[in-house]
Amino acid sequence: MSVFNQCTFIGHAGADAKLLTTSTSRQFLKFRLGVSDYSGKDEDTLWLTVLVWSTKQTETLGNLVKKGALLLVTGRLSVRPYVNSEGLEKTEVEVIAQDVQVLARSKQHEPNGQAETVSTETAAA
């Protein structure tokens, strides 16, 4: 039986992306993506951790993923157990990004204070 693990989310970056390095000197980009869910009168926000492992993407997106930017993220879900700072076992659901598109930059990062659509600035894997 075949298995297919792919997801697509559109949401806003919760903070500027961070360029991190593993213990084996491999660089990756990490950021939080807020995805809103409107159910009736209530709005809930799902916060996802997005990891970008592609070297080409990390170089391009490092300067583009800023707090408030509207992003389209396509990738696969990964579930990872970890122990938090209080010693409790937790589970992290992450999106391993295959493609990230910046649909609109954050207004606060634009020189004239207006968002700009930059969907052509795609960093493909």
What are the structure tokens assigned to 14, written together?
């919760």
**pLDDT-based confidence at 2, cuts 50/70/90?**
confident
Q: How many domains does the chain have?
A: 1
For 18, the domain range is 7-124
CATH number of 42's domain: 2.40.50.140
Nearby residues of 27 by Cβ (< 8 Å), 6 or more positions away: 19, 20, 21, 55, 58
- Per residue in 3-51, pLDDT (tens digit) is 889 999 999 999 999 999 999 999 999 999 999 887 777 778 999 999 9
**pLDDT-based confidence at 110, cuts 50/70/90?**
low
Task: Give the predicted TM-score (pTM) of the model.
Answer: 0.79
Write the CA distances from 88 to 32, 82, 91, integer angstroms.
22, 8, 10
User: Is the residue at 76 inside a domain?
Assistant: yes
Write the CA distances from 90 to 80, 95, 107, 120, integer angstroms.
9, 17, 35, 38
Query: Which stretches within 1-125 are classed as H helix?
Result: 55-61
User: Is the residue at 17 inside a domain?
Assistant: yes
DSSP class of residue 19 equals: E
User: Is the residue at 38 inside a domain?
Assistant: yes
User: Is the residue at 2 inside a domain?
Assistant: no
- Per residue in 49-70, pLDDT (tens digit) is 999 998 888 888 988 999 999 9
User: Is the residue at 1 inside a domain?
Assistant: no
The predicted pLDDT at position 112 comes to: 52
User: Is the residue at 60 inside a domain?
Assistant: yes
